[in-house]
Chains A and B, each alone.
Chain A
Amino acid sequence: MLQTISWWCSGTIGRPWEWSYRPLVGVYLLIAVLGGAYAWALRRHAAERGGEHAPSSRHYAWRFGAGLALLALSSDWPLGPLGAGYLAGVAALRTLIFTFGVAPLLLSGIPPWLLRRMLRIGSDPSAPPGLPLRAARVVTLPYVAFLQFNVLLVLTQLPVVVDTLKITQAGSFTLDMTWLIASIIMWVPVLRPLPELRGLDDPIRMVYLFGLSILPTVPASFLTFSRFPLYELYELAPRVFGPLDAVVDQQIAGLTLKIGGGLVIWSIITVMFFRWANGEQSDKVPTLSWSQFERDLERYDLRQRETPPPPS
C-alpha cells in the first residue's frame, strides 16, 4: 500500500495503468491547507465582527468549496494520474477543468475583504498602494493577463516541457500550479473581484473572451493535425484502453482543447451578450436584489459595523 502512495500525479514510465485507487498525498494536503486557511480567515473575520459572519459569507464559501472540490476531482485518482502519465486527452480535459472550473470558482469564492487583506489593502484610500497590490494591478492588467495566459498555454503544451516536467511529481505539480495561477489571473479582468483591480466593461469582456477562444487554436491544431505523437510520455505510456493509438489520443486532446474550450467560452460570451443587450434595451429601472446589494457593499468596502457599546 505504502508503495502506491505519491505526492502528486506524474508520469510513471512503464507502470501499467491499474483501475485501483492510488492515494495522492499532495492533493489532500493542498485542499486541506487552502480550505483550512480559508475557514480560519472566515472565523477570524467573524470574530472581528463580534462573532457574526458577513451575510454573503456563505455565498462565497460555497463557491470556494466548489472550486476546491473540482480541484480535488481533477487532480486526484483517476483523472490526475491518467492525465499526468497515460492519456493526452485526459490531460487536456484537466486543463479545461482547471481553466474554466477551478480558477473562476476559487477566485469568485474569495470575499472582497479577504482579497483586500491578501493584497494588503488598507482602509485609507489615500495611502499609497503596497507591493502586493501594485504587483496584482500589473499582472491583472487585461493585456498582461491575456498575454501571460496564452504564452503559458503554448509553453505548457510544448513536448520538451511536458516530457521533462511531467515525469517527476515536483515537475508535474509545478506545471499544474503554474497553470492554475495563470488561469486565476486570466479571470480577474472578467470577474472583476475588486474595484481596486482594473476590470473590463461588458462589451470589452466579450472581446477579451473571444480572443481567449482564438489563440488556443494554435496548440490545439498542432495536437490535432500532427502526423506523429508529439509527446514521448504519452506515446510510450502503457495502454489504458486497449490498442488506442497515441496519435488518436493526441487528436482527442487537441479537439478537447479546441472544441471543449471554445464551447465553454462561447457559452459565457452568449450569456454575457444577452444580459448586456437586455440591459441596454430595457427601459426598466435596474433592480438590485438584497443579496446583490450585500455583495456590493462588501465589494466596495462600504459596510459599516455597529460599534459595540463601551463596557460600563
Chain B
Amino acid sequence: MHTPATPSRVHPLVWALLMALLAGCSPTSTTASLQAAEPNYAPGWNGVAVEGAPEMPEGEFTDTEGEPFDLRAAALRKPTLVYFGYTHCPDICPVHMANIASALGDSSVRPEQLNVVFVTTDPDRDTPEVLGDYLDNFDASFIGLTAPQEKIDEFVVDLGLPEPTLEKPSESASDDYTVGHPAQVLAFDRQGRARLAYPWGTRQSQWVEDLPKLVREDGS
C-alpha cells in the first residue's frame, strides 16, 4: 500500500531554502556604501563652491601634439573644466571623462564653448601620444596636458588640492602602480578662477544641467 506523506511536517527542502534565505540576510556586507555624505552643493548648482576661488596658476604644459600649451591663457578665453588624473586609472578617471563626454553630446553646449582639460598626474607613462589616444576614446575635443612631475605637483598644490602620490608596491616595481590624485573636476570661469568643484559621483544628468549654465553665466 502507498504510505501517505506525513502532513504535519514541513519538508527539509523548505527549511533548507528558508535557512539559506536567512543566512543571506545577515549583515555580512563589507562593501562600501554608494550614498556617500551629501556634498554641500552651491545653490542652483550640482557642484560645490570652491573656497576662495583660487586663480589658475601659471604653468607650462605640453599638449597631445607635443606643443607647448598655456592653460591659464586658454582658461581666460572660455570656461574650463580641469581634471587631474592618469590614463592607467582603473576607476574614477574614465567614469568622470565618460560622463562629461556624454553630457557634452547631450547638452546644448558646443565643444568650442568650453575647454575640458585632463592634466596627467603620471607623466612617466602618459606621454602626449598615450594621452591623445586615451582622450580620443571619450571626445576628440578634450585637451590632454603633461609636464614634468614636480611642475604638475606644484600646480595641483597651488590650487589647494592634495599633491598626487605614486603608490608603487616597491621601488623596483615596473609599470604596475597606481597614482593617488584629486577626485574632483574643477570648473574655472572666464576670469580664470576656480568657482566650482564637481566631486566624484557627479552624474551625467547633473552635468547636462550645469554645463549650459557654466557657459551662459560665464559668457554673458
Which A residues have a C-beta under 8 Å from some C-beta of B? 6-8, 10-16, 26, 29-30, 33-34, 36-38, 40-41, 48, 113-114, 116-118, 120-124, 127, 130, 132, 163, 167-171, 173-174, 177, 227-229, 232-233, 235-239, 242-243, 245-247, 301, 303-305, 307
- B81-99 interface (Cβ within 8 A of A): 90-92, 94-95, 97-99
Q: Which residues in A have their C-beta under 8 angstroms from that of B37?
A: none
Determine the interface band of chain B, counting residues with CB < 8 A from chain A. 35 or more
Inter-chain contact total with CB atoms closer than 8 Å = 153
Which B residues have a C-beta under 8 Å from some C-beta of A? 1-5, 7-17, 19-21, 23-34, 90-92, 94-95, 97-99, 102, 106, 137-138, 200-201, 203-205, 208
Q: Which residues in A have their C-beta under 8 angstroms from that of B92?
A: 14
B26 touches A170 (CB 8 A): yes
Which B-chain residue is minimally distant from A10 (CB atoms)?
B31
Q: Which residues in A have their C-beta under 8 angstroms from that of B25?
A: 170, 173-174
Query: A227-B106, A228-B203, A304-B2 are known contacts; what are 18 more A-B pairs with Cβ within 8 Å?
Result: A10-B29, A11-B34, A13-B31, A13-B34, A14-B32, A30-B24, A38-B13, A41-B12, A167-B32, A169-B30, A170-B25, A228-B204, A232-B203, A237-B95, A238-B90, A238-B94, A238-B95, A239-B98
A122 touches B5 (CB 8 A): yes
Q: Which residues in B have their C-beta under 8 angstroms from that of A130?
A: 7
**CB of A12, distance to nearest CB on chain B (Å):** 5
Q: Which residues in B have their C-beta under 8 angstroms from that of A236?
A: 34, 95, 200-201, 203
B205 touches A228 (CB 8 A): yes
Q: How many angstroms from the CA of A8 to the CA of B30 in the assembled complex?
A: 11
**CB of A242, distance to nearest CB on chain B (Å):** 7
A246 touches B11 (CB 8 A): no
Q: Which residues in B have their C-beta under 8 angstroms from that of A48?
A: 3
B4 touches A167 (CB 8 A): no
A167 touches B31 (CB 8 A): yes
